[in-house]
Amino acid sequence: GVAGKHRQGGQSAKRFQKLREMELTYFFNRVAGTTREYFIDIYPIKGLIISGPGPTKEEFVNENYLEYRLQDMIISTIDASYSGAEGIREAFAKSSDILSDFRLVEEKQIVEKLFQQINSNSGLGVYGLDDIINYLKNNVVSTIIITDNTELYRVEAKCNRCSSIQEKIVEQQKTILIKTEFKNSSCPSCKSTDIQISDQDIVEYFDLLAAKTGTKIEVISGVAEHGLMLTNIGKVGAILRYNPNYSGK
């Protein structure tokens, strides 16, 4: 921490002010160094909110103590009545609306990037669930974008004899019907009726595949304007790492 301001007279006041400025500069540099170490090198972040009591936080921001990449990530500064743990709790409470707005802006940019790739015919922007799953399994997908109101489930029927797998992606209300159909049928490969059936939320399924390929998943608001744009093409889209159909000719 930094010493508070005190009333002093004459040379004592000047010495105290000088010492306080030195202490403040040291404190700012220490905070900036720790912030860089953690928020760039160890835990990369997308945005930064600066909070604290008094005008010190504005001085810290305006004099550019932060590493330039973190300086560009500052979303807002927030006044807090306390320091320490109580101040952190207060900052979290006050920043909820700011963070929600920040995420909506981020979501909008993600969807805009998807549609730019789709409209440019680059082959890097795709939609259609079957194609996306195929590309995901083949490690072609960089980012999947899906709305938070996508109520799709993957129903799997695995043969316990030959291990062949059948799958269908259906709406949630149809899962019981599809599971019953699988249960009453035999394996198309070996005709066994010893079938193991399971279902899984589509986001969980994507997450499982993405963990194997390093694919990023972005779940966005389905009711925001950009979410409605994605809804119009099936609620799911993907940005590819490369165009798998590019021949190079």
What is the extent of the structural domain holding 24? 10-79
> Which DSSP string do the residues of 6-20 spell out, in sequence order?
----HHHHHHHHHHH
Residues 48 and 142 in one domain: no
CB atoms within 10 A of CB 137: 12
Contact 220, 146 (CB under 8 A): yes
Task: Please tell me whether residues 126 and 201 are part of one structural domain.
Answer: yes
Residue 200 lies in a domain: yes
Q: Is residue 27 assigned to a domain?
A: yes
Would residue 73 count as lying in a domain?
yes
Whether 41 and 132 map to the same domain: the answer is no
Last residue of a domain, one of 79, 98, 131: 79
Q: Are residues 18 and 66 in the same domain?
A: yes
| Close Cβ partners of 165 (under 8 Å, ≥ 6 residues apart) | 156, 157, 158, 159
Tens of pLDDT, residues 45-104? 889 999 988 888 999 999 999 999 999 999 999 998 888 888 888 988 899 889 889 999
Distance (Å, whole) CA 152 – CA 97: 30
Domain termination residue (choose one: 28, 48, 79): 79
- What whole-number distance in Å separates Cα of residue 134 and Cα of residue 145? 15
The owner of tokens 């079938």 is 195
Shared domain check, 231 and 173: yes
List residues bridging with 170 in a β-sheet. Answer: 153
Give the CATH number, domain containing residue 45.
Answer: 3.30.420.60
Residues 123 and 233 in one domain: yes
> pLDDT at residue 18 above 90?
no
Question: Does residue 124 share a domain with residue 50?
Answer: no
Pairing of strands 74-79, 48-52: parallel
* Other CB atoms within 10 Å distance of the CB of residue 60: 19
Say yes or no: 64 and 147 in one domain.
no
pLDDT in tens, 169-215: 999 999 999 999 999 999 999 999 999 999 999 999 999 999 999 99
Of 38, 34, 164, 48, the closest CA to residue 98 belongs to 48
Number of structural domains found in the chain: 2
The pLDDT score that the predictor gives to residue 121 is 86
The verdict on 75 and 123 lying in the same domain is no
The residue among 79, 106, 127 that closes a domain is 79
| Domain presence at residue 88 | no
How many helices (H) and strands (E) would you count in the chain? 8, 9
3-state DSSP of 82-148: CCHHHHHHHHHHHHHHHHHHHHHHHHHHHHHHHHHHHHCCCCCEEECHHHHHHHHHCCCEEEEEEEC
249 occurs within a structural domain: no
Is residue 85 included in any domain, yes or no? no
Rounded to an integer, the average pLDDT of 135-159 is 96
Asked whether residue 109 is domain-assigned, the answer is no
For residue 126, the model assigns a pLDDT of 97
218 and 126 in a single domain? The answer is yes
Residue 208 is given by DSSP the state H
pTM attached to this predicted model: 0.72
| Residue 111 domain flag | no
Are 161 and 209 in a shared domain? Answer: yes
Domain containing residue 179: CATH number? 3.30.1330.30
- Do 233 and 136 fall within a single domain? yes
Task: Determine the pLDDT at residue 84.
Answer: 82
Task: Give the residues across from 201 on adjacent strands.
Answer: 153
Residue 1 has pLDDT above 60, yes or no: no
